[in-house]
Every structure is written in C-alpha cells, then in structure tokens.
C-alpha cells in the first residue's frame, strides 16, 4: 500500500480513492439518481401547469401532478442525503488514507531533504495537498457531475418541446464550460504561486516563533517584524493576482448567463406566441433557466475555487513527493548486526560539488572505542552521516559485520547504532515516551533503569509529574544537560552494538559530566564506539584516536603514542587545549 504515489492532484485523488472505491461508487450512484429526480421535476411542473390551464380542468389530473411534484422533490432530497452520508465515509476515509500515505512517504526522505526546508511549511504543504484534493473531488461529486448530468437531461427535455430550446442549452453550455476551463487553466499557475507564498509565509513565521527567545535576546523584534513583513507582502501580491483573474471570470460568466436567460425566455415566449408550445412548456423553460442560472453562476465560483484547490494540492504534492534519495535496495535484506565491526573501503563522497572524502579507508574492529578528532569541516560529522546512511557514498563500500550497508534495510542498519548527538532533540511528549523511543517495547522498569544508568533519574523524579512530565517542543522545558542525559538513557535502552557519541557531554558542566562519566563508560562497555569530541574527557579512555583533516586520516594510533609523536597534530591540539577543550588554531 502507498508504494508509488502520483504527483498530480487528480491522479493522486483517484489513487487514494481506489482504496475506498465501494463508498465512492455508491456515492456516485446516489448522485446520479438524485439528479434524475431533480431534473424530472420540471416535466411534472409542466404537466401540472398544463392541467390547470386547460379549457376544461380535470381535477383528478391536477391532484395527481400536484402530489407527484413534492414526492419527486422528496425522493431527490432523500437520495441527495444518501449521497451525503455515503460521501461522508468516502471523504473521511480519503483524508485518513491521504495523510497516512503522504506522512509515510515524507518520513522516508533523507536528512538532507529536511535540513533545507521548514518543518512548518512541509506540514502546511501536506495539509494543502489533502484538503485541496478532497475539495476538488467533493466539488466534482456534488457540483460538476450533477451539472453535466442535469444538462443532458435538460437538453433532452427541452429538445422534446422544441429543438431550438434544446440547441440553445447545448451550444451555450458548451461555450460556457469551454471558456471556464480556459479561465481555470489560466488561473491554476496563479493559484500555485499563491499557495506557495502562503506555505513560505507560514514556514517563516513558524521558524521565527520557534526562535523567539533569540529574537528577544538580541533585541531584534523590529528587524524580525520587517523580515516577516516582506513575506506577508509577497503573499498579498500573489493573492491579488489570483483574485483579480477570479473576478474577471465571474464578470464574464454573469454576462454569458444573462445572454442565456434572454435567449431561452425570449425563444420560449416566441414559440408560445406561434402556438408551437404550451403555457406549461414556458413555465418548464423558466424553471430550467432558474435552475441553470443559479448553477452556472455558482459553477463559475466553483471552477475558480477548484483552480485554487488544484494549485494548492499541486504545490503540496510537488514538494512532498520528491523522489527519495536514500532507499532500500530492491533486494535489501534484514541484517543481524550484533558485533559492531566497521570497515570503510575506499569511499569517495562529495556534497554540493565539494569533495569530502577521496579513497578513504578505515577499519574499526568490533568492540573498539575510537575517538575522532579534527578541526571544524574535517569530515567527522560527515563520516557519521555516511555510517548512518543519511547520504550515499559516490564510490566504495561501508561494511558492518561484513554487510554492505547499501544492501541491507535502513531499519536493520539504524537499529544497530545508538546515536547520542550534540544537540539533543526531544519530542513534545513525556519523559517516559522520549526515553522509550529507542525501544518501544521496553517496560517501565527498563525505562527507569536506563534513566538511573544515565544519572537522569534524580532530576526526573524531582519533577511534579516525574516520568510523565511533558518536556515541551524540542525539550525546551529541560536544560541542555538534562536533555543530554535523556539522550544517553535512550541509548542505554536501545542496547545497540555500535554507539556514536557526538559531543555527548558538551551541554554538561564539569560536575555533571563527572557524575555521568561512569555511565558513559558503562554505555561503551562491550560495544564499538565512535566518539567525536573536542572535550578531552570523552577521549581519555579511548582505545584509539583517529585524526582527520580534509577528509583524510592524518594520524591514527593509541592516545599515548600520538602524544609522544614529535610535531604530531594530535599532540599539538593537546598542547593548545584550554580548560579541557581542543581548539582550532
């Protein structure tokens, strides 16, 4: 389910509808029947009028048609409501499946995809895609289909009275619909740009509000307001372009409808004058004209709105349904990685036309603890991203326990690695849920044990709601050190054979760091460890130090050996340390 999702709003809607075709089919049948009853009511109205205007009135006929008229309207109403109850299930299921499909798809995008986009804008685009597509299909079901079926009915009914009346409806409707389709095509790109401007504006506002503390701290409220105002004006300009064309559409439609009414009423009166049709036929024509007048005036607005919905949906789908850059290979297997041996075999990698690694090789035996050292931009973080397969290597192979990571499932690869980042991000959920995120089947006892091992249990239990305390968006209710302890607890609970520590204690003060040092050592025990650090305390107990510069290993060995190396890069860093940190020259 949801393997390949079409990018076009109509094809996307049909694709989702396939999963709920039973409800869609029943809704369509109900609409067909309801429209038939609705349109046939004008025939009954004609017969009722003729029975009343006859020279000799037969009251039995009058009562028959008088009773038949409201009964037909009641039948139409009941079938319309039937289509509503059935359509309700179609479209609510449609929304559910649409959100599920798009969310499932978007979660498979690479880290790079999200790093260059606003999360708020992506959420808005997903909403636009679902709401826009649903609105299009609702309009098709309850506006366009009844109109076109009704037109066929009216052409047949009017033609039966006089071919001139039927011809006027057929020709005029063809011109009207064709012209409005042309207008809709012109409106669609303006709607797309308007939707894009709205998404961009919302994304900028979310980004600004997410960093409101920074705005206040730097006393830049005025500057931030001016920054957002630029995007507000862009939204306004795009909206005016869309709206102005919409008003022209409604103006032209009003003139066309006036001509239609004039032709139909004038022709029917002329035919009555010549004795070609009856008074009942004139009343029927007026009823048809009145019905079509409202529908066509309304359909102009609906086509305008549909063009807007189409633009919104297309903009959202186009952004979300980018081709995935990191995917499981067609025959990817679920690998059982339990030792943690890492082998980098002659890899090349470049990012945005900048070469990061060229013919880079490295072997880390299972259970070895390696400290990665290097100045900013040396390639340390990129190395971790490649290991987690956030990016694909351009050439060469990365092996875990002998498995090429490009040939195993992403799930089995990433389940084998516990990652403790420098900037710990938490969900706006409870502490218990955040710790358990690394092992959703873990018991409460296991969660508490993980918190104790990371020295987090004391501060957690001091909170008003303990482990059920909500941490706020991205964990803002906790200090940096508390968030990092939660991340370490999460790593304990994951119990993976490979642990990556990316400045894992950088947010802790010296006392806190010392308090959890034993926990870090327990976490590293019997595991393969990659520790990226500037703080020397995280490197003291490493089995090996690898120094990287410009994507190359320039030094590799035991910490003590590298410190004895004359003019060594690591020794130079060590000698220039300040308060336990390795600093750049």
Domains and CATH numbers, the chain: 9-320 (1.20.1560.10), 335-416+498-585 (3.40.50.300), 425-495 (3.40.50.300)
Q: Give percent of the chain above pLDDT 70.
A: 94
Contact of 293 with 257, CB cutoff 8 Å: yes
Mean pLDDT in residue range 352-366:
89
Structure tokens at 199: 């998404």
Q: Which long-range contacts (CB under 8 A, 24 or more apart) does 347-352 make?
A: 347/386, 347/393, 347/394, 347/395, 347/396, 347/397, 347/398, 348/393, 348/394, 348/395, 348/396, 349/382, 349/386, 349/391, 349/393, 349/394, 349/551, 350/394, 351/382, 351/391
pLDDT at 580 over 60: no
Dist CA 559 CA 544 (whole Å): 6
pLDDT digits (tens, 9 = 90+) for 41-56: 999 988 888 888 887 7
Q: What's the confidence (pLDDT) of residue 585?
A: 41
Mean pLDDT in residue range 85-91:
95
Local structure of 350: helix, strand or coil: strand
Q: Which of 26-30, 109-113, 165-169, 203-207: highest mean pLDDT?
A: 26-30
Q: Which of 245-249, 409-413, 559-563: highest mean pLDDT?
A: 409-413
Mean pLDDT in residue range 366-372:
92
- Calculate the alpha carbon distances from 41 to 82, 168, 279, 489, 583 in Å: 19, 21, 16, 72, 86
Q: How confident is the model at residue 584 (pLDDT cuts 50, 70, 90)?
A: very low
pLDDT digits (tens, 9 = 90+) for 145-176: 998 898 899 999 999 989 999 999 999 888 88
| Unique residue bearing structure tokens 């084998």 | 416
Number of Cα atoms under 13 Å in the Cβ half of residue 532: 20
Q: What's the confidence (pLDDT) of residue 30?
A: 96
Q: Give percent of the chain above pLDDT 90.
A: 35
More confident residue, 308 or 340: 340
Q: What's the confidence (pLDDT) of residue 23?
A: 96
Dist CA 493 CA 490 (whole Å): 5
Provide CB contacts within 8 A for 258, sequence distance 6+.
Answer: none
Q: What's the confidence (pLDDT) of residue 508?
A: 63
pLDDT digits (tens, 9 = 90+) for 278-308: 898 899 989 898 888 878 877 767 877 887 7
Contact of 228 with 208, CB cutoff 8 Å: yes
Q: Which long-range contacts (CB under 8 A, 24 or more apart) does 263-271 make?
A: 263/168, 263/172, 264/165, 264/168, 264/169, 264/288, 264/289, 265/289, 267/162, 267/164, 267/165, 267/168, 268/165, 271/161, 271/162, 271/164, 271/165
Q: Which residues of 518-547 are buried (b: 16+ CB within 10 A; e: fewer)?
A: ebbeebbeebbbbbbbbbbbbbeebebbbb
Q: Considering only 181-185, 429-433, 543-547, which range has the smallest mean pLDDT?
A: 181-185
Contact of 531 with 370, CB cutoff 8 Å: yes
Q: What's the confidence (pLDDT) of residue 34?
A: 95
pLDDT at 399 over 90: yes
For the chain, the average pLDDT equals 86
Of 252, 234, 156, the residue nearest 198 (C-alpha): 234
pLDDT at 17 over 90: yes
528-532, strands of its sheet edge to edge: 417-420, 498-502, 528-532, 369-373, 544-549, 552-557
pLDDT at 427 over 70: yes
- Calculate the alpha carbon distances from 182 to 238, 258, 300 in Å: 20, 20, 12
Dist CA 231 CA 122 (whole Å): 17
pLDDT at 32 over 90: yes
Q: How confident is the model at residue 378 (pLDDT cuts 50, 70, 90)?
A: confident
Q: What's the confidence (pLDDT) of residue 185?
A: 78
pLDDT digits (tens, 9 = 90+) for 126-146: 998 999 999 999 999 998 899
Contact of 124 with 202, CB cutoff 8 Å: yes
Whether the full predicted model's pTM is greater than 0.85, yes or no, is: no
- Which secondary structure element, helix H or strand E, spans residue 153, and what is its range? helix 145-161
pLDDT digits (tens, 9 = 90+) for 539-578: 767 899 998 888 888 989 888 888 888 888 888 877 776 4
Q: What's the confidence (pLDDT) of residue 512?
A: 64
Structure tokens at 263: 């032709």
- Calculate the alpha carbon distances from 210 to 203, 215, 423 in Å: 10, 10, 16
Provide CB contacts within 8 A for 225, sequence distance 6+.
Answer: none
Q: What's the confidence (pLDDT) of residue 583?
A: 47
More confident residue, 318 or 472: 318
Structure tokens at 292: 């079509």
Provide CB contacts within 8 A for 164, sequence distance 6+.
Answer: 267, 271
Dist CA 374 CA 385 (whole Å): 16
Dist CA 324 CA 328 (whole Å): 10
DSSP 54-109: SSS--HHHHHHHHHHHHHHHHHHHHHHHHHHHHHHHHHHHHHHHHHHHHHHHHTTS
pLDDT at 253 over 70: yes
């Amino acid at each position: 389910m949801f393997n390949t999702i079409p990018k076009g709003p109509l094809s996307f809607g049909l694709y989702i509808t396939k999963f709920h075709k039973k409800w869609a089919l029943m809704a369509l049948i109900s609409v067909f029947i309801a429209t038939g009853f609705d349109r046939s009511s004008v025939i009954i109205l004609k017969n009722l009028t003729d029975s009343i205007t006859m020279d000799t009135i037969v009251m039995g006929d009058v009562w028959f048609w008088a009773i038949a008229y409201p009964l037909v309207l009641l039948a139409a109403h009941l079938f319309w409501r039937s289509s509503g109850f059935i359509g309700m299930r179609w479209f609510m299921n449609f929304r559910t499946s649409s959100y599920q499909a798009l969310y499932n798809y978007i979660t498979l995008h690479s880290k790079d995809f999200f790093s260059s986009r606003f999360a708020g804008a992506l959420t808005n685009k997903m909403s636009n895609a679902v709401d826009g597509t649903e609105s299009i299909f609702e309009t098709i079901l309850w506006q366009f289909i009844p109109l076109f079926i009704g037109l066929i009915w009216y052409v047949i009914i009017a033609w039966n009275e006089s071919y001139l009346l039927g011809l006027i409806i057929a020709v005029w409707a063809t011109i009207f619909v064709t012209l409005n389709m042309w207008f809709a095509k012109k409106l669609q790109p303006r709607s797309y740009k308007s939707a894009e401007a709205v998404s961009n504006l919302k994304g900028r506002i979310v980004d600004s509000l997410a960093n409101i503390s920074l705005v206040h701290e730097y006393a830049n409220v005025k500057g931030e307001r001016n920054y957002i105002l630029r995007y507000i004006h862009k939204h306004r300009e795009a909206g005016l372009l869309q709206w102005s064309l919409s008003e022209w559409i409604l103006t032209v439609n009003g003139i066309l409808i006036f001509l239609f009414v004039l032709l139909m009423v004038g022709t029917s009166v002329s035919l009555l004058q010549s004795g070609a049709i009856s008074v009942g036929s004139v009343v029927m024509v007026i009823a048809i004209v009145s019905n079509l007048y409202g529908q066509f005036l309304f359909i102009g607005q609906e086509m305008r709105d549909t063009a807007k919905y189409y633009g919104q949906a297309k903009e959202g789908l186009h952004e979300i349904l980018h081709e995935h850059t990191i995917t499981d290979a067609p025959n990817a297997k679920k690998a059982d990685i339990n030792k943690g041996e890492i082998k980098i075999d002659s890899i090349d990698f470049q990012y945005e036309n900048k070469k990061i690694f060229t013919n880079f090789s490295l072997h880390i035996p299972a259970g070895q603890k390696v400290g990665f050292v290097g100045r900013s931009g040396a390639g340390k973080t990129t190395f971790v991203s490649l290991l987690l397969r956030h990016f694909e290597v351009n050439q060469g192979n990365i092996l875990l326990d002998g498995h090429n990571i490009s040939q195993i499932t992403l799930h089995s690869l990433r389940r084998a690695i516990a990652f403790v980042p420098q900037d710990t991000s938490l969900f706006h959920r409870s502490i218990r849920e955040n710790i358990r995120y690394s092992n959703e089947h873990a018991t409460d006892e296991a969660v508490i044990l993980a918190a104790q091992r990371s020295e987090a249990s004391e501060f957690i239990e001091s909170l008003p709601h303990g482990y059920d305390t909500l941490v706020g968006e991205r964990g803002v209710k906790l200090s940096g050190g508390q968030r990092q302890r939660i991340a370490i607890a999460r790593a304990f609970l994951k119990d993976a054979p490979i642990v990556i520590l990316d400045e894992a204690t950088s947010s802790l003060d010296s006392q806190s760091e010392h308090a959890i040092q034993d926990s870090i050592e327990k976490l590293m025990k019997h595991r393969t460890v990659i520790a990226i650090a500037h703080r020397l305390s995280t490197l003291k107990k490493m089995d090996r130090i690898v120094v990287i510069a410009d994507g190359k290993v320039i030094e590799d060995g035991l910490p003590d050996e590298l410190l004895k190396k004359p003019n060594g890069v690591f020794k130079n860093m060590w000698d220039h340390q300040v308060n336990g940190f390795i600093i750049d020259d």
